[in-house]
Amino acid sequence: MGVGVDVVDVARFARVLARRPRIVERLFTPGEQRDGRGRPERLAARFAAKEAVMKSLGVGVGSVPWTTIETVKDPSGEPHVALHGPAEGLAARRGAARFSLSLTHSDLSAIALVVAEDARG
């Protein structure tokens, strides 16, 4: 029902984190902070995922609080999208029942691709 992709420049993202260290708490859940291990490229990929989720739902940045969209890993390390509160409500109103997520990063760029599916798949 929707596709979203986002690319984040890792060096630019790292500069933002260095200038505003408290932004991590505003953007990321405790689990994402733990999974990111303070590495800018890992946090940038998770940030890209949040933007890609919003795009897949057809809304813009700021439509829901950042921490209501969460990237979680299953035991194999595969990333998934978990929605909470306002983000979960938005997805329900848009008819999105599940999301497929792919993340990748290098020292230069972090990329996320999200496919939102309705209940039928």
Identify the domain containing residue 106 by its residue range.
2-117
What was the pLDDT predicted at 58? 96
Report residue 80's pLDDT band, with 50, 70 and 90 as the boundaries.
very high
Q: How many residues does the chain have?
A: 121
Structurally, how many domains does the chain consist of? 1
Tokens linked to 49? 């995922």
pLDDT tens digits, one per residue of 26-72: 999 999 999 998 899 999 999 999 999 999 999 998 899 999 999 99
What was the pLDDT predicted at 121? 63
The helix (H) or strand (E) run that includes residue 33 is helix 30-36
pLDDT tens digits, one per residue of 63-75: 999 999 999 999 9
98-105 and 109-117 beta bridge pairing: antiparallel
Average pLDDT over residues 18-25: 95
Q: Which among 115, 106, 113, 108 has a CA at the least distance from the CA of 49? A: 113
Q: Over pLDDT 70: what percentage of the chain? A: 99
Instruction: Evaluate whether 27 touches 65 at the Cβ level (below 8 Å).
Output: no
pTM, full prediction: 0.95
We report the CATH number of the domain holding residue 48 as 3.90.470.20
Cβ neighbours around 54 below 10 Å, total: 23
